[in-house]
Amino acid sequence: MSSRLFIFALAAMTASGMAAAYAQDYPLDRAAVSRAVIAETNAWRAAKRLPPVSSHPQLEAAATAYARYLAQTEGVGHTADGRSPAIRVRATGYNYCFVAENMWGGWRRPNPMTEAEASKKAMDDWKKSPGHNANLLSKGKNIGVGVAAWRQGDRVVFRMVQMFGTADCAPRPKAKPFVTKVTQKVAPKKAPAAKPQQKPTPQ
């Protein structure tokens, strides 16, 4: 059995190949892989005392479409389709103020990895990589996981994309300047001196 694995985290590299004429989609329980990866991500965040991320359909759509593209073309990197993660997310209508992407993939012959093997291997590799781990523990509030498998001859090419995002970030209110009120003491006014009364002159 032969295999090859690799991971990318917001890397600026592009590589893609032409899908072979005999390539075909390989059946895979994508929902099971997505659930496993999200659960493991939140467990890892909890261990670091960070809040969980919640699944978001638009991030999942962007991640799934890109994972499928990468599997079909044996592409790698974050711009293999000529678009950045931010552009792909924006195309789904997700109004983000933060976005990050992890990618993992490889191939195996003659049989592919199982769903459990793939999700565990991806998470293990991401945790060990500083860049990927930073995304796992990022400030993103939402997550979307996409996975695809594609048979290329005697090999099954596997790709997984994990996207983090935060939508509609409200701008922070500007801090009001701190003003110190100075109370000035005012000296009480002195009452005018009484005029001396003149004694009447006896006549």
Which pLDDT score is estimated for 196?
Answer: 54
Which pLDDT score is estimated for 118?
Answer: 86
CA–CA dist 63, 145 (Å, integer): 6
Which pLDDT score is estimated for 107?
Answer: 76
Banded pLDDT at 45 (limits 50, 70, 90): very high
pLDDT mean across residues, the chain: 78
CA–CA dist 34, 160 (Å, integer): 9
- Residue extents of the structural domains in the chain: 2-8+24-162
CATH number of 2-8+24-162: 3.40.33.10
Which pLDDT score is estimated for 173?
Answer: 58
As to burial, measured by CB atoms within 10 angstroms (0-12 exposed, 13-18 middle, 19+ buried), residue 86 is middle
CA–CA dist 74, 65 (Å, integer): 14
Per-residue tokens: 122: 């991806």
pLDDT, tens only, 24-39: 667 778 899 999 999 9
Look at residue 144 and tell me whether its pLDDT is greater than 70. Answer: yes
Which strand (E) or helix (H) includes residue 121?
helix 115-128
pLDDT, tens only, 166-192: 997 766 556 565 555 555 565 666 656
Banded pLDDT at 117 (limits 50, 70, 90): confident
CA–CA dist 108, 125 (Å, integer): 17
